[in-house]
Structure formats: C-alpha cells, structure tokens
Structure 1
Amino acid sequence: MRFGLFGTGPWAHQAHAPALAAHDDVEFVGVWGRNAEKAGALAEEFGAKPYAEVDALIADVDAIAVALPPGVQAEIALKAARAGKHLLLDKPVAFTAAAADEIVAAAAEQDVASVVFFTRRFMPQIQEFVDRARATGGWLEARIDHLGSIFQPGNPFGESAWRKESGGLWDVGPHAVALVLPVLGPVSEVTALSGARDMTHILMRHTGGAISTMTLSVDAPAKLEREVAALYGESGVADVPPVPWLPVEAFGRAIDALIGAANGGPASALDVRFGAEVVKILAAAAESVSDGRTVKLAEQ
C-alpha cells in the first residue's frame, strides 16, 4: 500500500515515519509538512519524497498517515477520504464532533478503510485485557489517572502549541476514553472540572449504568506523574497492565489493521467511527468545564 505522511513533528519522527519505512507491505511515497525544510529532511531520512502540496501527495498514494494537530488533521483527512484514500489518523480525530462526523460520512461514502492510532490499544497486552474485561462483564466503575509533565526541558511535545492550549483533556484524554469505552459501553452524560496545572477531572455515566472517572494532566508536578487504570465490579478489581512504550511497534500494528481492512478484512474496532465517538465525549467534557453543567450526549 502506498502511503503519504502528513506531519514532521516529534511524533512523526518517533512513530509514523520509522514504522512506515520498516513495514514490508508499505511503499513510503512522500512527506508533506507545514515547514518545507522539515518535510525535506524527514523524507530524506526515510527514503521518501518531500511534497509541497497536500493535494499532490494525496493524489499519489493509496492511504495517508497523519501526525498533525487535530484541527489541521481533520481538514486533510476529509480531503483524503473524499478522494477515496484510506485513513490512518492520530488521536483525537478532530476538535469538534461536527468535523469528526464529516470524516466518518466521507469515509463511508467512499468505502475507505480507517484506523485511529490510540497508541497502547495496539499493544497485545492491552487488547487482551480489553477482551477479557468485556467477556467478564459486571463492571460498575472505572478509574483512570493519566498525569504527565511534558513542559520540561528536553521534552519535544512541550513545544506543541495545540497541547499548550488544549492540555491533557485532548492529549491524553483520548487514550483514557478509548480504554473504557469498549468495556463499559457508550456514554450518556459527562461532567467535568478543570483546576490548576491542567488538572482535569471527568465523570462519565455509561448507558449500561457504570460510572467512570478520569484525572488528566500534561502539566502535573513531577512527583505526581502517574498512569494507572482499573475496573471495579462484581468480580473484584482488574488493574490495567503496564506496557512498554514501543510506538513504532504499535504503529506497525495499526498499519496492519488498516491494510487488512482495506483488503476486505474486518473493519478495525478503532476506526473513524470509534474516533468520532471519543471526540464527542471529549467535546462534552470541554463544554461541561466551560458551562459548569452536566452535558447529555445523544443516544448512539
């Protein structure tokens, strides 16, 4: 499958480009970036061609991979879907439910495959945990703490303008939601509060009756950094297992899932429909923070 990569930042360097270049079933065609010099350097490093125009790269490939801010990604993904290109997108798919729904509709209309890269969901240990938890059932609640500190010297993600503006809700929040959603089911209500140091607290009611709580930050004090998650229910407590940080390996599995779906296999459970559902929940949390009220979601 011929791939074009959109984006030249740290995530493109750490995950997308090396995984595309190493994959046996990928022809890494080209790179487009908002900075032409960076696009040229990344393309040269991985044996691809730099492109100056978005439309030109879309035209030359079968699928796109995106490592760009959500607002920029949404515009390019919509163009690519309407052109009949398969989509390997980063999380979150977009910043608004309307933008995410447009991509879903275009992908369905053009019958293109899609995968959203929720990094750890592509690690076998996490997928096995999700499968076991769904089979067990009887869960009453989930608790997730995802607190990091990216604004430290030497952390490349701290220079990201969209992360500075949108914080942990939109950066690490998608990972948290993507973990509980397939186990506890759709969300009907969201309440959220935001405090100092980007500390965002989310309370979600799932349609099956379970409640999940999340504490998120990308600007936490170093001594408070943690990533822990657990389910609680009739069978006791199930701790989400820690997994090694292997983004290239995870992205390789995301590529596998996209190629499989494009070749007539089953659609990925982490496709743009799922990605849009995550966006709707995060947008509801942002609305709750802003308005100080519980936000009800439309029935799925």
Structure 2
Amino acid sequence: MTGAYLGERWAEKQDINRIYTQPDRSGNEWTRNPEDPQGTWTRTVSAPMPNGGFQETRLVAAGRLADELNYRAANDSYSLGLANPPKPQDPYRLDAKAETHPPREPFETSRDYVRDAQTGQWQLEIRENIDGKIPITRNAPISTERATALESQSQTIIAQNAANTPEAIAARYQIAYNQFGWNEFANREPVPQAITNARTQPQPLQASDGHSYTRDANGEWTTPGTFYGTNPATGNTREELNRTWQSQQAGLQDMASMAEVARSNPTPTQSDLHSQVAGMYARAGITRTDAH
C-alpha cells in the first residue's frame, strides 16, 4: 500500500511541493522525490567545520518520523484528490475514429460507438454536416464481436469511474491509515474533514454529463434543477449511475475487508520490532542484555 496513498495522480505541478514537502514536529522541512520508489524523505543540514566553513549533510528520515511525514503528505494528497476528482468518462459513447465501415462520406464530421438507451444495443453513430449548414446524425449497425468488445470496454470505464468516487478515495486512505498506524499522529494533525466526510457520509455521484446525482431510498437518481426542483436521471445516464454505484459498493466492501486486515496486521513500527525481539528472547529462555 505504500504507493497507494502517495501515488494518487491528482496534483498539478504547483501542488507537488505542497504534498512532498512536509514539516516534522520541530518545524524542520523534509522533502521527497515523487518518482522515488523507496519513498525516502530527506533534508540537508549545514554544520560548521573546525577549519572554517560549513559542511552539508544529507539526513534521511526513518521509523515513525518517516511514517508521520507520509501521513501528512497523504492528508494533503487525498484532500486535493477529493477537491479535484477526475471527471468521469462516458462509458456509453466510445471513440470510433478507427472504424472504416461504412466508408467515410465527404461531409462526415465525426463518428462514435453509442449504446442505445432503450435497447441496450451498441451501434455506430455518424455525424455529418451537409453543405456546412445542415447537421445530420445517422446510425449504422456493428458486428456482434465489436458489440461484445465495446461492452467490455464500457465496464472497464465504469470500474475506473467507480474507483474515483469520494467514498472509494476515502476507503483507500483508510487502508493506509490502518496499515501504518497513522492514528498515533491524528491527535497532533487530525484527519482532514473532507476525508472524514467522504468516509462516513453518503456522497453524491458525479456522472459523465457533468452533473452530480443523489440516490434515494428507491434507487432513483436526481440532480438539482437549473432554477428549482430536481431532474431525474434517464436513459444512459441512469444506467451509468446504477452500474457505477454497484461497482463502487462492491469495491467498498473489498476495501473494508482490506482495512480490517491492515488494522489486525499493521506494518511493524520500531517499538513493535523491539517488543517482538524481546518476546523471542523470552520464549527461548535467553536473558536479553543491552547489547541485544
């Protein structure tokens, strides 16, 4: 899980320093190269030399200091991700630029594979602009093999969309929180409210049409109207929301199980390791000295 919490890719260039530069409890700033697979936190100090001048020394954070810096960085990373989630992709309108059948007409402007909201069948949608003035849309059938491939592609997009919902993001955070014993640091720096809210409160679900929808007790989706009231989700948008929600719920169950495993089997801290060594000596009947 070490790559899961610092590997989220929401940050723009200007946010990199905010995430990968973190202070310790004494106010010393540590930095980490986001491309470093080891996740090493370092800082440089200058010490006076006997013959004058200064010598720079590179320090490396270890043990619980490194864990605390990771916790702080994860708080910034996940808060940023929740504030700027990726826009969901449309799983039911897929690029068809490579499709050569039927041949392109002179006035064609674009073509996509689209799912018919009434029948659930896939077809090729071709858009043309006759004489540069009259827009026309026509549909063409596709092969069964192509339709099967498109359905599989749409399911992959739905899974990707579901993995980027606020609740899924917060669930990934919780796994790392349990795995690395971050609760030790939460008294000094509380978990950001945005993460807590996403983990504990039902969140609206954003669709690829740009609107956020709320699911009611009957499983119906609505979004606020432009001026008043609410508008229901219909057609492909409704199907997209239903499938995304189902994928999200399955993922949340899996991640909740992973979080419990992480809670029961956290990554050992330095003090944990000392305790384990002491226990092994005691079980073996060996008197442990300071040297051990």
TM bucket by the smaller chain?
under 0.3
Q: TM-score, normalised by structure 1?
A: 0.24
RCO comparison, higher one (Cα < 8 Å, 6+) = 1
> If you compute each CA radius of gyration, which structure gives the higher value, 1 or 2?
2
Q: TM-score, normalised by structure 2?
A: 0.24
